[in-house]
Chain A
Amino acid sequence: MVQYCTRCLYPDTKPDLSFNTEGVCSACTAFEARDTVDWEARRQEFLDTVAQYRSTDGGNYDCIVPVSGGKDSTYQVLRLLEVGMNPLCVTATTDALSEIGRRNIENIKRLGVDYIEVTTNPVVRRKINKLALTQIGDISWPEHVAIFTIPIRIAVQLGIRLIVWGENPQNEYGGPAAASGDKTLTRRWLEEFGGLLGLRVSDLLEIEGIERRNLIQYTYPDDDALQRSGVTGIFLGYYFPWDGWTNALIAQANGFEVLPTLVEGSLANYENLDNHQTGIHDYFKFLKFGFGRATDIANNHIRRGRLDREDAVRMVRTQDGKFPSTCLGKPLEETLAEIDMTIEEFHRVCDQFTNKRLFVVDSRGRPVRDAQGNLTLADTSYGRTD
């Protein structure tokens, strides 16, 4: 019933993914389209674009770079410094910042930039994490909102008209064509493609005592304010062929630290290092759609010819969708306790968001778990018919 891409391992359960008549997914075809791009011209376009926004007297920053401390934001900062820009780095603090995540943030500062970190009210934040987890099965929803709204708010407030984002996830992950070509990030983009899963900030009002004054940092500036400020955003991934793995190599050569072992449920030790809640976030993707972070990473390598599909299938079979009993070494119970949730409640919510059609179930229709709590996909062929 589930159709898999013939090239990579994406299933057709993935939202916003489409397949062509040869069974190749839109993420793969978007990647192929890179061959037709004149990257030299794009590079020049980038230089021309940033030149327009460069401060003439050094009295203000040339641009804002939203950073998390990860491989991609480290790479973005390096790119901008290399072309002589003076960026203001802006971080929206993650929900459960890890120690290595903090060290990597400090590393960005040492690259030679001014830096602002905005931390939303942690008491309110935890309520929103829990609400988002129970209502839409995404604990990281507030983070997805804040990493967009905070840099934009700062841009408007400080009169910095250019925001340089990283990759356009719609491009790498194959979203609807119109979005793939997008260079800039508008409010509409955010609502439709920013991974908000239909939940809006305004939905939180009056729930669990959350008031408007608690949601200031999550509030996108209104269209008028945005227009008057002239703030625009660009995706670096439009101008330079994006590769997370290469970004990691470059970042590591500049002080970025990786884990000694693979991140749980993943095939990488160089990304998603900063937030202990990411394990839960990625797990729910698996419950809903039948694929997790390991699949994303394997696919990135497959597309770039670094991994062959057969090997990828074997790797993903063993690593993908593991029950997140720890994340970056921190036990699940501790992470749950921080958002005031018991492990029993967690299991209940997992169950609600599990797409029973994708997993092996018992005679009562309940997903079967192994001793570690892992589910098993009903179809592990990944589209192979042999």
Chain B
Amino acid sequence: MLKHRIMPTLLFKEVGLVKGIGFDSWRRVGTAMQAVKVYNMRQVDELVFLDIAATPSGARPDFQQIDELADECFMPLTVGGGVRTVEDIRELLWVGADKVAINTAAVADPGLISDGADMFGSQCITLSIDFRRAPDGTAEVVTHCGKQPSGRDPVEWAREAESRGAGEILLGSVERDGTMGGYDIEMIRAVSDAVGIPVIASGGAGSYEHLADAIKEGGADAVAAASIFHFTEMTPREAKRHLGERGIPVRH
């Protein structure tokens, strides 16, 4: 039986890892290398590494750094942040990423998804969707690290991405990110129901219950979390124990 994955997420900004709240008030929390090594020691299911400064600054991904980090990573690694072209995807896969997450560039040019999937296979292309809810509850896809509204609906965008060949969706709520107040279950459910490719829930996990909810209520295939694993006694291992107790298949 396919297990649900628990994926620690590392957010990288300029010179080091950060934690934020609502994609804002970033707080420096240490170096990427030690985080990768610790998670490797703990044999987590998969790791997500996002460079959140690359797109806003117009920089390309830091291939040298990813190369060094990937060398210490003996588990699947998804890398995103500042990926704009098929060349960027190629180079990232070359230096060691297993999957590449694309976000802003794909919204600007959805052809990037199809080009990437054609060249490297769907399984290498993860579409990262950040969304924000207006006060009336309507959701909108945002780009540029949560700063720019796109006018698109997350569910409809997810469907288009799938039809273009994306292998996976990484779905993140901007306002819930870093709050540890729970995922946006409704949106996770809406996107999971709309597509036939795996969906990873991101943004808001604060407890093991939240992780379970994202999977059971939201229908997510995998859950990504940053804050709970970096800042609390909670560990991916314990999370899996809890999920296992709730009848959710996880790897031990």
Contact indicator B38/A176 (Cβ below 8 Å): no
Q: Which of B23-56 contact A (CB under 8 A)?
A: 27-31, 33-35, 37-38, 41-42
Given A203-B38, A288-B31: A352 in contact with B68 (beta carbons within 8 A)? yes
Instruction: Tell me if A18 is interfacial: C-beta within 8 Å of chain B.
Output: yes
Contact indicator B31/A353 (Cβ below 8 Å): yes
Contact indicator A18/B27 (Cβ below 8 Å): yes
Given A136-B34, A137-B33: A187 in contact with B41 (beta carbons within 8 A)? no
Contact indicator B232/A188 (Cβ below 8 Å): yes
Tally of chain B residues near chain A (CB < 8 A)? 25
Bound CA span A101–B230, Å: 34
Measured between beta carbons, the chain B residues less than 8 angstroms from A357 are 14-15, 62
Instruction: Tell me if A144 is interfacial: C-beta within 8 Å of chain B.
Output: no
Interface centre among B14, B31, B232 (most CB of A within 10 A): B31
- How distant is A196 from chain B, measured CB to nearest CB, in Å? 10
Bound CA span A199–B16, Å: 17
Given A135-B41, A203-B38, A207-B41: A13 in contact with B29 (beta carbons within 8 A)? no
Q: Majority SS of interface residues in chain B?
A: mixed
Given A1-B15, A203-B42: A198 in contact with B28 (beta carbons within 8 A)? no
Instruction: Tell me if B233 is interfacial: C-beta within 8 Å of chain A.
Output: yes
Bound CA span A199–B34, Å: 9
Bound CA span A356–B65, Å: 8
Instruction: Tell me if B138 is interfacial: C-beta within 8 Å of chain A.
Output: no
- How distant is B244 from chain A, measured CB to nearest CB, in Å? 18
Instruction: Tell me if B72 is interfacial: C-beta within 8 Å of chain A.
Output: yes
Given A16-B27, A188-B232, A192-B232: A353 in contact with B15 (beta carbons within 8 A)? no
Instruction: Kindly state the interface size class of chain A when it binds its partner.
Output: 35 or more
User: Which of A15, A191, A197, A198 is close to B16, meaning CB atoms less than 8 Å apart?
Assistant: A15
Instruction: Tell me if A330 is interfacial: C-beta within 8 Å of chain B.
Output: no
Contact indicator A200/B15 (Cβ below 8 Å): no
Bound CA span A342–B19, Å: 36
Instruction: Tell me if B235 is interfacial: C-beta within 8 Å of chain A.
Output: yes
Q: Which of A1-45 contact B (CB under 8 A)?
A: 1-2, 12-18
Q: Which of A337-386 contact B (CB under 8 A)?
A: 352-353, 355-358, 365
Given A136-B34, A353-B34: A191 in contact with B14 (beta carbons within 8 A)? no
Q: Residues on B close to A: CB < 8 A?
A: 14-16, 27-31, 33-35, 37-38, 41-42, 62, 64-65, 68, 72, 230-233, 235
Instruction: Tell me if A289 is interfacial: C-beta within 8 Å of chain B.
Output: yes
- How distant is B156 from chain A, measured CB to nearest CB, in Å? 38
Contact indicator B233/A191 (Cβ below 8 Å): yes
User: Considering only CB atoms, which chain B residue lies closest to A202 in the complex?
Assistant: B235
Measured between beta carbons, the chain B residues less than 8 angstroms from A13 are 15-16, 28
Contact indicator B34/A358 (Cβ below 8 Å): no
Contact indicator B64/A365 (Cβ below 8 Å): yes
Interface centre among B16, B34, B232, B235 (most CB of A within 10 A): B34
| A-B CB proximity, top 5 nearest | A136-B34, A135-B37, A15-B28, A288-B31, A13-B15
Bound CA span A13–B32, Å: 12
6 contacts between A and B (CB under 8 A): A15-B29, A16-B29, A188-B232, A188-B233, A197-B38, A198-B34
Bound CA span A16–B27, Å: 6
Measured between beta carbons, the chain B residues less than 8 angstroms from A138 are 34
Bound CA span A143–B119, Å: 50
Contact indicator B231/A15 (Cβ below 8 Å): no
Bound CA span A197–B64, Å: 23
Q: Which of A48-80 contact B (CB under 8 A)?
A: none
User: Which of A191, A197, A356 is close to B232, meaning CB atoms less than 8 Å apart?
Assistant: A191
User: Considering only CB atoms, which chain B residue lies closest to A131 in the complex?
Assistant: B41
Interface centre among B30, B35, B62 (most CB of A within 10 A): B30
User: Considering only CB atoms, which chain A residue lies closest to B35 in the complex?
Assistant: A198
Measured between beta carbons, the chain B residues less than 8 angstroms from A12 are 15, 28
Q: Which of A171-207 contact B (CB under 8 A)?
A: 176, 187-188, 191-192, 197-200, 202-203, 207
Bound CA span A352–B72, Å: 10
Measured between beta carbons, the chain A residues less than 8 angstroms from B230 are 198
Bound CA span A197–B41, Å: 14
User: Considering only CB atoms, which chain B residue lies closest to A12 in the complex?
Assistant: B28
Contact indicator A289/B16 (Cβ below 8 Å): yes
Contact indicator B34/A203 (Cβ below 8 Å): no
Measured between beta carbons, the chain B residues less than 8 angstroms from A176 are 27
Bound CA span A303–B60, Å: 39
